[in-house]
Every structure is written in C-alpha cells, then in structure tokens.
Amino acid sequence: MFESSLITFLADDDQLAALVETYAGEPAIFSDEAPEDAEMPYIVVRIVPSATDNIAVESFAVFIDYYDNDKSRVDSRKAAARIKLLLDRKKLTHARYNNIRLFYFDGSPMEEGDPRQIRYNLQFMARAGRQDFADYVSTTSGD
C-alpha cells in the first residue's frame, strides 16, 4: 500500500510532530499498531483496500487515530484538526500507485472505557491509479 508515503508526509510536518512523542528518534507515527513500549501521544495509520468496479483505479479507507493518555485534550484537538488540514484533498505519490488522492470523510473523538484516555479517529477515502505491477516490481523492492 502507500503507508510509507503517508507516514513520511505526516512526520515531516513540524506542527504535527510537536504534538506527538518520539520513537526511535522519529515522530511517533505508526502503521497498523503502535509498539508496546511507545509513549503517548502517538498516531496510528491504517489503510484498508475497498471494493472498486474500475480495474484502473484502486480505492481505500484510511483511518488515522490520535491516542493520548490524560496529557492534553487541547493538543489532541489540535492534532486532529492538523491531520484533517494536511490530508483533505491531498495528493501523494508512491512507487506502486499513480495520483493517490485523499478526501476527508469523518472524524470525531472516540469514547474510551478509561476517562483519561483520549482518542480521535479521522477517516479519509483514498483513490489511486494502479501502476502496472510488472513495472512496479522491476523498480522497487515491493514496498
């Protein structure tokens, strides 16, 4: 998929990076799940392919969760707003896909069992042109 492009884009934003901890010297932005030893706040990106009826275009649901643990609800709202600003109608590039476009779909704070837990869930729809797979394999390691 294109997690690497998306995570790099988010991590390169100084304002967003200031609202998360660091992990291994980088902003704490992870694909699918956070490591057990990661400190909050952090961001988790999950990309799920969606059904499409067009063989040239692939569709995805992109979920971005901001997790905090009783540090700052204000910063959590700022991070959610920043993510929406950065990604709504954003065009990304990746070796596997041409013209990845993201569109904001939904977002809100999520109820958690522990009142100290803060979680914002943002959802985006993404569409990307499929690159010929043979060309992709010949130019990359398969990311």
- pLDDT value at residue 138: 55
Tell me which residue range forms the domain holding 29. Answer: 3-139
Instruction: Write the burial class of residue 47 (CB in 10 Å: 0-12 exposed, 13-18 middle, 19+ buried).
Output: middle
Look at strands 42-50 and 29-31 and give their pairing. parallel
pTM exceeds cut of 0.85: no
- pLDDT value at residue 120: 86
Instruction: Say if residue 34's pLDDT is above 60.
Output: yes
Look at strands 97-109 and 26-27 and give their pairing. unpaired
Give the residue-averaged pLDDT of 24-49: 95
Give the residue-averaged pLDDT of 78-94: 91
What's the CATH number where 65 sits? 3.30.2000.40
What's the structural domain count of the chain?
1
Look at strands 97-109 and 117-130 and give their pairing. antiparallel
Say which residues have a Cβ less than 8 Å from residue 74's Cβ, sequence separation at least 6: none
